[in-house]
Amino acid sequence: MMSNQILFAILLLAPFVGFMFNGIRWKSHNATLAGVVATFAVFVSFVCSLLLVSQLFGANAVPSVGTRFFEWMNVGGLQVQAGFVIDHISAIMVLVVTGVGTLIHMFSIGYMSHDERPSKYFAYLNFFLFNMLLLILGENLLLMFVGWEGVGLCSYLLIGFWFTDSEKAAAGMKAFITNRIGDAGFLLGIFTLFFLFGTVNFSEIIARLPAGGIEMGWTGPMTVACLFLFVGATGKSAQIPLYVWLPDAMAGPTPVSALIHAATMVTAGVYMIVRLNPLFLMAPNALHVVAVVGAATAFFAATIGLTQWDIKKILAYSTVSQLGYMFLACGVGAFGAGLFHVMTHAFFKALMFLGSGSVIHAMHEEQDVRKMGGLRKYLPITHATFFIGWLAIIGIPPFAGFFSKDEILWQTASSPLGHKALWVVGVLTAGITSFYMTRLMCLTFWGKSRVPKETHPHEAPPVMWIPLAVLAVLSTVGGWIGIPKVMLGGEDNWLERWFHHVIAPVPEALGHAVHSHALEWAAMGVSLSFAVIMACLAYTFYVSNPSLPGRLAQKFHGTYRLIYNKYFVDEFYFARIINPLIDASKGLWAYVDVNFIDRTTYVLGDVVRGVGSTAKSFQTGNLQQYAMYIAVGLAVTMFLILR
């Protein structure tokens, strides 16, 4: 049995070695070699994490496995170890990330086979995974922050992977900068926590939480810390108001969107909140903010998803919306449900993104769904897997999405931190999700083909469809670990038991949860039937009666335009924040630096020069005048002395 330290080292370093391998031979065009090495590296990580996670099971189960490599920073009271830990929370994340990561790497081998720089791509992808593992496994906030910024950097590099296109490079930049705003908040959160608890270590912070010291106001240190951290989460996890980067991030290669911008990186914010769940439970007001922002984002992004034509943009807005769900779950104190949704979402959204990658690949880089349709007969496997993903996301039992989404909605309704209004928003969002996802299915796979004649879609090679198939299986069975209590006859499901020690229940001081089986069945029925109705409606709109949506858009022209243009949020940011900032900076440069400070110093210089030129006029060169000065000076001196 290898020691845990070695296992951790391999787990972390395998992707790094892959990164170095591909990074050094970045000029190589050999996609297969690069891809296989990269995939293998991630697979090694997956195996290591399985071995480590297995120690949490069974008779000799330990609450967590961890190791420390070296002391990273030691200044004053701040001691930061390069230490890593797998507990019941990070176990799920690490398995999802390395597992789904392996599949996406594998998919990439096919997807990037014709690219100019496949080695560079795989190097970045492996480096991303390395950073993601730091983020997940780091035992303290600082290591998490290292990974947090590291994944942001990789995201920047991968979004701008095809950098010769100015727009793609700009999208990468936008992602990085928007994330940086969040990161600034995260930093402030770290500072607040450090000065509050004297440590940045997760387990120590949680151990030092004041017992029963729930902060009710807005200005308590824990509330402030939680809000700062949540700012970080809104950046990384694309919540209002910082979500704008994620749709643009679709400029990157599609597997990147699947891995980074759907399955793993963007869920980091949720993961961070879950990791600190006892802390957040101390600050109910912060949780309310989380819940409201989450619900608002979920709804808001879903409506934008209704009108988009780019297959990846639709999925991107769907991702933003689903992330909103996860925050909603956290906000109502259902952290387990939030993490559960992270997992199922990773399965089905990765599946759908890879499916869309397969479609785009087949359509020769075409992303507009208006030019697709009827692809079912060309891409049977992709269609089948996408179909499962569709069932999962709209929440049809027994597919994965149903269980996690239902758990979130029920907790929203029943938790003492939840609210009926939030539940209504959640259900509405579920309906809209169902509508636009069905729309996507109809426009892409079903109905009449609108494929241009010169394109000949073809099914993907096995290296691409095998990951799809595996993900489809996971999207089907992945939710079964969290079957609601009412269905199991009142017994706790596996997930409940798994999270038992690491996720704190909502403190009793905040109120009591509603327990009513009838109500739970009813809520489930309402949301399910609503989703099905919306799906049928979408089918009617886009397959049976394809002219209807156009007419509706005509009729509600203003609203449609507003939503189609994403509520003009980007335009608003440009007009009200970015451009004024640039203008102000130019003003500062021209007026403060050049015209004010420099002018002021010139004035000082001019004074000196003026005095000089006045003095200069005495020095005419006329010797007799000088003699006169001497004489007068002498006379004055004599007078003064002899007076």
Partner 1 sequence: MLLSVITLLPLAFALVMLVLPEKVIRPVALLLAVVEFAVSLLLLTSFDKASPAIQLVEQIPWVPEMGISYFLGIDGLSLWLVILTTFLTPIVVLGSWTAIDNRIKGFHAALFVLQTSMIGSFLAMDAVLFYVFFELSLVPMYFMVGIWGGQRRIYATVKFFIYTMAGSLMMLLAIIYLMFACRDTFGQMSASLLDFYRLKIPFVAGEFLNPQTLLFFAFSLAFAIKVPMFPVHTWLPDAHVEAPTPGSVILAGVMLKMGSYGFLRFVLPMFAEASQYYAWLFLFLGVVGIIYGALVAMVQPDIKKLIAYSSVSHMGYVMIGLFSLNMYGVSGSLYQMLNHGISTGALFLLIGMIYERTHNREIAKYGGLAKALPIYTIIFIIVTMSSIAVPMTNGFIGEFMILLGTFEASRPFAIAAVTGVVLGAVYMLWMVKRVFFGPAGELVRDEHHPLHDLNARELTVMAPLVVLIFWMGLNPNFFLDYSKASLDHFVKNRDNYRLAVSPAQPKLENVAVRGEAQ
Partner 2 sequence: MPINPEAWKVGLDHYLYLSSLLFIFGMLGVLMRRNVIVILMCIELMLNAVNISFIAFSRYAESTNGQVMVFFVMTIAAAEAAVGLALAVTVFKKFKEVNIRFFEHLKG
Where along the sequence are the contacts to partner 2 (CB under 8 A)? 616, 619-624, 627-628, 631
> Containing H/E element for 56?
none
Residue 232 CB, shortest distance to partner 1, in Å, is 11
Two tokens at 320? 């933003």
Phi-psi region of 212 (alpha: psi -120 to 50; beta: other; left: phi over 0): left
Residue 147 CB, shortest distance to partner 1, in Å, is 8
| Nearer of residues 599 and 616 to partner 2, judged by Cβ | 616
Partner whose footprint covers residue 588, from partner 2, partner 1, none (CB < 5 to 8 Å by kind): partner 1
Partner whose footprint covers residue 319, from partner 2, partner 1, none (CB < 5 to 8 Å by kind): none
Residue 193 CB, shortest distance to partner 1, in Å, is 11
Residue 563 CB, shortest distance to partner 1, in Å, is 29
Partner whose footprint covers residue 458, from partner 1, partner 2, none (CB < 5 to 8 Å by kind): none
Residue 623 CB, shortest distance to partner 2, in Å, is 5
What is d(CA 171, CA 219) in angstroms, rounded to the nearest whole number? Answer: 36
Partner whose footprint covers residue 501, from partner 1, partner 2, none (CB < 5 to 8 Å by kind): none
Partner whose footprint covers residue 573, from partner 2, partner 1, none (CB < 5 to 8 Å by kind): none
Partner whose footprint covers residue 593, from partner 1, partner 2, none (CB < 5 to 8 Å by kind): partner 1
Two tokens at 265? 């990186």
Q: Is the backbone peptide bond immediately before 221 cis, with ω within 30 degrees of 0?
A: no
Partner whose footprint covers residue 592, from partner 1, partner 2, none (CB < 5 to 8 Å by kind): partner 1
CA 273-515-400 angle, to 5 degrees, is 55
What is d(CA 366, CA 374) in angstroms, rounded to the nearest whole number? Answer: 15
| Nearer of residues 582 and 636 to partner 1, judged by Cβ | 582
**Residue ranges that bind partner 1, judged by CB under 8 A:** 27, 70-78, 142, 145-146, 149-150, 153, 156, 160, 163-166, 169-170, 172-173, 176-177, 180-181, 183-184, 187-188, 191-192, 194-195, 581-582, 584-586, 588-589, 592-593, 597-598, 601, 605
To 10 degrees, what angle do helices 268-275 and 311-331 make?
Answer: 10
| Nearer of residues 40 and 72 to partner 1, judged by Cβ | 72
**Other C-beta atoms within 10 Å of 404: how many?**
31
What is d(CA 601, CA 609) in angstroms, rounded to the nearest whole number? Answer: 12
| Nearer of residues 169 and 486 to partner 1, judged by Cβ | 169
| Nearer of residues 518 and 615 to partner 2, judged by Cβ | 615
Non-local CB neighbours of 332 within 8 Å, separated by 6+ positions: 287, 291, 411, 412, 415, 417, 418, 422
| Nearer of residues 38 and 141 to partner 1, judged by Cβ | 141
Residues 492 and 412: beta-carbon distance below 8 Å: no
To 10 degrees, what angle do helices 141-159 and 268-275 make?
Answer: 170
Partner whose footprint covers residue 624, from partner 2, partner 1, none (CB < 5 to 8 Å by kind): partner 2
Residue 607 CB, shortest distance to partner 2, in Å, is 18
Two tokens at 223? 């509330």
| Nearer of residues 421 and 578 to partner 1, judged by Cβ | 578
Residue 194 CB, shortest distance to partner 1, in Å, is 7
Q: What is the 3-state secondary structure (H, E, C) of 463-505?
A: HHHHHHHHHHHHHHHHHHHHCCCCCCCCCCCHHHHHCCCCCCC
CA 437-441-443 angle, to 5 degrees, is 110
Residues 323 and 240: beta-carbon distance below 8 Å: no
Partner whose footprint covers residue 74, from partner 2, partner 1, none (CB < 5 to 8 Å by kind): partner 1
Residue 464 CB, shortest distance to partner 1, in Å, is 28
- Cα of first residue to Cα of last residue in the chain, in angstroms, is 109
| Nearer of residues 554 and 624 to partner 2, judged by Cβ | 624
Residues 71 and 41: beta-carbon distance below 8 Å: no
Residue 211 CB, shortest distance to partner 1, in Å, is 26
What is d(CA 434, CA 391) in angstroms, rounded to the nearest whole number? Answer: 9
Chain centre distance of CA 181: 13
| Nearer of residues 78 and 627 to partner 2, judged by Cβ | 627
**Other C-beta atoms within 10 Å of 88: how many?**
21
C-alpha pair distances (Å), 16 with each of 22, 127, 523, 562: 10, 6, 47, 45
Partner whose footprint covers residue 20, from partner 1, partner 2, none (CB < 5 to 8 Å by kind): none
Residue 615 CB, shortest distance to partner 2, in Å, is 8
| Nearer of residues 601 and 637 to partner 2, judged by Cβ | 637
Residue 631 CB, shortest distance to partner 2, in Å, is 6
What is d(CA 268, CA 262) in angstroms, rounded to the nearest whole number? Answer: 11
Q: What three-state secondary structure class fits 69?
A: strand
| Nearer of residues 32 and 620 to partner 2, judged by Cβ | 620
**Other C-beta atoms within 10 Å of 58: how many?**
8
Tell me the helix, strand and coil percentages in the chain, rounded to 5: 75, 5, 25
Residue 610 CB, shortest distance to partner 2, in Å, is 14
Residues 495 and 336: beta-carbon distance below 8 Å: yes
φ/ψ of 161, rounded to 5, equals -60, -40
| Nearer of residues 579 and 619 to partner 2, judged by Cβ | 619
**Other C-beta atoms within 10 Å of 400: how many?**
32
Partner whose footprint covers residue 611, from partner 2, partner 1, none (CB < 5 to 8 Å by kind): none
| Nearer of residues 170 and 526 to partner 1, judged by Cβ | 170
Q: Is the backbone peptide bond immediately before 241 cis, with ω within 30 degrees of 0?
A: yes
The structure tokens 């789904």 sit at 100
Residue 628 CB, shortest distance to partner 2, in Å, is 6
φ/ψ of 81, rounded to 5, equals -95, 145
Residue 614 CB, shortest distance to partner 2, in Å, is 11
Partner whose footprint covers residue 571, from partner 2, partner 1, none (CB < 5 to 8 Å by kind): none
| Nearer of residues 26 and 387 to partner 1, judged by Cβ | 26
Partner whose footprint covers residue 622, from partner 1, partner 2, none (CB < 5 to 8 Å by kind): partner 2
Q: What three-state secondary structure class fits 98?
A: helix
